[in-house]
Structures are given as C-alpha cells and as structure tokens.
Amino acid sequence: MSLASARLRALSGGFRLGLRTLRSTGDYLMPLAVVPFTTLVLVTVFAHGGRRDLSGTAFLAPALMGLWAMSLYVAGETVDSDRSVGILEPALATPAGLGAAVVGRVLAVNLVGAASFAESWSVAAVAGGRAPTVAHPFVFAAALLATVTAMAGAALFMAAVFVLARSARIFQNSLSYPFYLLSGVVVPITLLPRAVRPLSRLVFLSWSADLLRAATAAGRPTHAGPALLGIATTGGGLAWAGGLALRAVSRRVRTTGAASWA
C-alpha cells in the first residue's frame, strides 16, 4: 500500500470514528451548549448599546468560537486518549501517522458542528427581535467551507503541540479567548492596538470573520477572493507546520520509543 493510500484510509477512518463518537457520547459537541448563551450576551449588549444593526456579528462570533473550541477539544482528546491507553506511540510510528486521523475526526465533528450557525442565528432572531440576514448565501457557504477546512489544519498543528507536551489541558484552556480577541471574532480588528493588527492577519479566523460579516451585509462583498486566499494560506500554513512537527515526532518514536519531549 502506498503512503498516500495509507493516509487516505487513516483520514476516512478518523472521519468515521468522529461520527461514531458523536453518536455514542456527544462529548465533542459540548462547546455547542455554550453558543446560545454567548449569543444572548452579545445580542443584549448590542441592543442596549443601540446597535441592533450588528445582529450579524451577534450570531457569527459565537458560532466561530464554538467551532474553534470543538477543534481544540477534538485534537486534545485524540492525543490524550491515545496516550492514556498506550497507543499514541504506535499510531505515530505507523506510515500514515497520527495527523490524517486527527484531521478526519475534526472534519467530521466540525461539519456537524457547523449547525452552531443555525443555533446562534435562531437565538439572535428571537432575542434580538429581528432575524439576522445572510445577503450573500454563496459567499457565506464558501467562507464556511473554507473555515471548516482551515480548522482541520489548525487542529493538526495543535495535535503536534499536544503530542510534545505531557497534557493537552493547559493548551486547551489557554488557546481560546486570546485567539477570539486577536482574530477579531469578538471585536473588529480595527479596534485592536495598531501594533497588534498585523498579527491578526496570521490567524485564519480573522479572514473568516471578515468574509462572513461581509456575507451578512447588504453591500456587495468586494474582497471575497483575497479573504478566501487568506483563509487557505493561514490555515494551510498551520497544517504544513503541524505535519512537519508530527513527522519529526514520528522519527523520534521510531528511534527512542518516546513521543513527548516535555
């Protein structure tokens, strides 16, 4: 079997495992339980601030936050659970490696988790008294698909970090709200300090948030192409870096039998 075939089988196997986990436990979807409450907070803040026109942001931000939290959770749980039962090192030593399986699981969970947009839209419509509009559905769909794919690339990078550490919990707890702020998901990038803004463009969520907001606005999106390229470039860069790190760890496992350097 060729290496490409082995990785494709690992990817499809991870995808099926992600779906089975959703059916059996639903743990991966726990971040979605937070989405309605986050949406309600944002809708209330915007309403009391006299900015009901920002209802689009009120339903986009919680959904993006939910997808990011799910990606963190899946990547961390995959590494920690494999480590706890003693199969992490054998998985890393296989020709396909761990990365394809992680990407498959994250894709499965996030494709289902994309329902968070419908969830937050419904809460924003009821709590805000007016349903948020998606003026450009095709742009919205393209941005959402690109974002889900980039999430898988980010999860691959995070899985590499989790493998090198003894526990994923610390990183799972610290890689949430800083990214929400840096990427402009919660507040526009233009409100961040000027020195920080260039860093925001290195986070794919900043491109995702901008394009999704443009898809909910009445005006024609003029930067859809560059935004999609930004999502693909930054998400792909994370996937490339994560793949390199996992290959380095795989070589270490085959030499020493140990994965963690912490």
pTM > 0.75 = yes
CA distance 145 to 142: 5
- Look-up: residue for tokens 């959703």? 22
Supply the pLDDT for residue 143. 92
Q: Which residues contact 29 (CB under 8 A, 6 or more apart)?
A: 22, 70, 109, 112, 113
Residue 135: CB partners within 8 Å, gap ≥ 6?
A: 215, 216, 217, 218
- The encoded tokens of residue 189 equal 């990038």
Q: Give the whole-angstrom CA distance, residue 124 versus residue 132.
A: 7
| pLDDT in single tens digits along all 262 residues of the chain | 576 777 788 778 778 877 887 777 777 778 788 888 888 888 887 777 666 666 667 788 888 988 888 888 888 777 777 777 777 777 777 766 677 778 888 888 888 888 888 888 888 888 766 667 888 889 999 999 999 889 888 888 888 877 777 666 666 667 777 888 888 887 778 878 888 888 888 889 999 988 998 888 877 877 888 999 999 999 999 889 888 887 777 776 666 655 555 4
How many Å apart are CA 107 and CA 27, to the nearest integer?
A: 15
Instruction: Give percent helix, percent strand, percent coil of the chain, each to the nearest 5.
Output: 80, 0, 20
Give residue 257's pLDDT. Answer: 56
Look up residue 218 and give its DSSP letter. Answer: S
Cβ atoms of 205 and 187 closer than 8 Å: no
pLDDT value of residue 245: 80
Q: How many other CB atoms sit within 10 Å of the CB of residue 220?
A: 10
Q: Is 50 left (phi over 0), alpha (psi -120 to 50) or beta?
A: left
User: Would you state the structure tokens that stand for residue 128, as one six-digit string?
Assistant: 């805000």
| Contacts of 167-173 spanning 24+ positions with Cβ under 8 A | 167/80, 168/75, 168/76, 168/77, 168/79, 168/80, 169/76, 169/80, 171/72, 171/76, 172/72, 172/73, 172/76
The answer to whether 10 touches 101, Cβ cutoff 8 Å, is: yes
Give the other-Cβ count within 10 Å of 181's Cβ: 15
Q: Give residue 230's pLDDT.
A: 93
